[in-house]
Structure formats: C-alpha cells, structure tokens
C-alpha cells in the first residue's frame, strides 16, 4: 500500500523548482497560479535566495505549488492514503480532490500571509530536538515555556516559542537530546502565537465548497482518517495554532498496511523520518524530474 505525502515549511531551497520548469506545461501552470494569487512562483522557485524564500508568505505557496506540479508529473495515480506535514496538508487535500489546485493555492496564500502577520507580533522561531525520550523532552520544553509544536516521531520533536526561550533551550537541552537545531522558519508555528491567523483562515474558507476525499486522508491533528471535505477544511484552519502529530500519522500508515511512502517535491524530510520510524517500508523522495522514473516504478509495485 502506497502513501503519498507532502513536506512542510523548511523543505524549500533556492532554485529547487528550476528543473521542473523543463517539463511540458509546468511553467504555464505556475504562471497561471502566480497571476491568480499575486505571487511570482516562477521567480521565487528559481532565482530567489534563501532569505527571500524563508518568508512565510512566500515559502508556503511555493511548497504547495511544488507539490502539485511534481505530483501531477506522476500521472493519474491512486495512493492508499495521502497526508501532508503542516502546510503540506493543503497539498494533500488537493491530491485527494478536496480542493482544486487554484483553491488550494489561494488558501495557502492567505494562510502564509496570516501566519506571517501573526509571527510579526512577537519575535519567535522553532528548533528541532534530535534524540531523547519524548516524554522527558516535552516536560522540559514546558518548563522553559516552549511548545512541542511538531511531534514527528523517529526521535524528533520541534520546539516553538520566543527567541529568548529557544536560546535557553540551546543552553539547557533535555536529558538524552543529542542536538538542538534552529530551523529556517520565521515564526512559532502551530502554537498559541498563531491564534490571530485562525480567524483570518476561517474567513478565507467560508465560501469554499470542499469535496469529500477520493483517497484516505490522514490528519496532522491526531493521525486519524477524515472522511468529509468539510471536516478536513475545518482541521486545516485550526491546525495552524495546534501541534503537528506526524508521529500519530505514521502510526496510522502502519495500521493501514503501508509498504511504500512517496514524498513529493521538495522531498527528503518525511522520507527521512519514515526510514527511522517505519522499518521495512520503501521510501522515495521526489527532488527533481530525474526521480520520476523510480517513483513510477514504486507506484506500480505498491499501488
């Protein structure tokens, strides 16, 4: 059984869309989406530097656009389940037919702007904790006033809070944690710091008419399968201010009988977690069109 997944913010790198523009129709699609949302996706995916694409309002639409063009390049596939990490949930909702591509890009554009506005209120950030016992780490983070914003499984938790709180964490790691790594994101996502973005997204989704998912959709909120489009959109709104439970998503993949996991562009983060948490499951990350043949072989074997 194949699971198709989409990465979240921080996966972007300068120029990562450049090779995809060589595929027929990709540049036209990106330019049409750019016009629709008022953001030059081609420029930011090819010529912008790391600081430019670190901006939340740019990074989020760019990641969803990359996921959609790389997913489309796979052809008409029927995965056993779809899921996305954080903003990747919008990509997954489009894969499942809950939102069409244009609605997904419009929603993520509003999401990125709203979260950037919320992040500007207080200087905040996120850091990944590698290793250690999750219960010990969570208790330590709470002592420092930090939120375990992403519980990713495979020995990784992402802490979020003010820069002062993150500095304290760097000086005082939880017992057993090997390393604390500052992430290239511009805010404390999936925490109470993002509460102002929730009302903006509620307004942005009010006129959407989501369809029920064509494939099993696994939610970041609790790792559960969600059967209706309305509930998926409701969760997409609330999730910006609540922790990502990717660990529970991977547990659900196991329950569903996953045998292969394919991560769309810019792949790598979620396949890395799966290699550690889902032993025996074949994984493949789409980085460039050169990976498409191997991806199609994986799909043929496991769909």
Contacts (Cβ under 8 Å, ≥6 apart) of 35: none
DSSP alpha helices (H): ranges in the chain?
26-37, 41-46, 50-54, 56-72, 88-95, 101-119, 134-143, 163-171, 195-205, 229-238, 246-256, 269-277, 292-302
How far apart CA 69 and CA 95 sit, in angstroms, is: 11
| DSSP state at residue 193 | G
Q: Is 190 a catalytic residue?
A: yes
The residue annotated as part of the active site, out of 86, 127, 137, 219, is 86
Contact criterion met (CB below 8 Å) for 181 and 158 = no
How far apart CA 29 and CA 61 sit, in angstroms, is: 14
The residue annotated as part of the active site, out of 190, 193, 219, 302, is 190
Q: Is 43 a catalytic residue?
A: no
Burial track 222-238 (b if 16+ CB lie within 10 A, e otherwise): ebeebeebebbbbbbbe
Contact criterion met (CB below 8 Å) for 277 and 254 = no
Please list the active-site residues: 86, 190
């Amino acid at each position: 059984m194949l699971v198709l997944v989409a990465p979240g913010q921080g996966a972007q790198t300068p120029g990562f869309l450049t090779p995809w523009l060589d595929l027929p129709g990709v540049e036209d699609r990106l330019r049409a989406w750019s016009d629709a949302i008022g953001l030059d996706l081609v420029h930011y995916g090819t010529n912008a530097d790391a600081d430019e694409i670190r901006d939340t309002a740019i990074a989020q639409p760019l990641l969803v656009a990359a996921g959609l063009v790389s997913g489309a390049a796979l052809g008409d596939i029927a995965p056993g389940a779809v899921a996305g990490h954080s903003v990747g949930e919008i990509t997954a909702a489009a894969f499942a037919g809950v939102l069409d591509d244009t609605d997904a890009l419009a929603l993520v554009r509003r999401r990125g702007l709203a979260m950037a506005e919320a992040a500007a209120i207080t200087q905040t950030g996120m850091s990944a904790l590698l290793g250690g016992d999750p219960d010990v780490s969570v208790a330590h983070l709470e002592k420092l006033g930090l939120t375990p914003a992403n519980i990713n499984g495979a020995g990784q938790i992402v802490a979020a809070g003010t820069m002062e709180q993150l500095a304290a964490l760097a000086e005082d790691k939880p017992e057993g944690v090997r390393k604390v790594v500052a992430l290239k994101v511009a805010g404390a996502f999936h925490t109470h710091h993002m509460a102002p973005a929730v009302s903006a997204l509620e307004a942005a989704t009010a006129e959407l008419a989501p369809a029920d998912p064509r494939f099993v959709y696994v939610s970041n909120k609790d790792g559960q399968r969600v059967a209706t489009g309305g509930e998926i959109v409701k969760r997409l709104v609330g999730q910006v201010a609540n922790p990502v439970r990717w660990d529970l998503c991977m547990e659900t993949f196991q329950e569903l009988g996953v045998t292969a996991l394919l991560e769309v562009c810019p792949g790598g983060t979620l396949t890395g977690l799966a290699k550690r948490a889902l032993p025996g499951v074949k994984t493949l990350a789409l980085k460039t069109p050169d990976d498409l043949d191997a991806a199609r072989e994986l799909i043929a074997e496991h769909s």
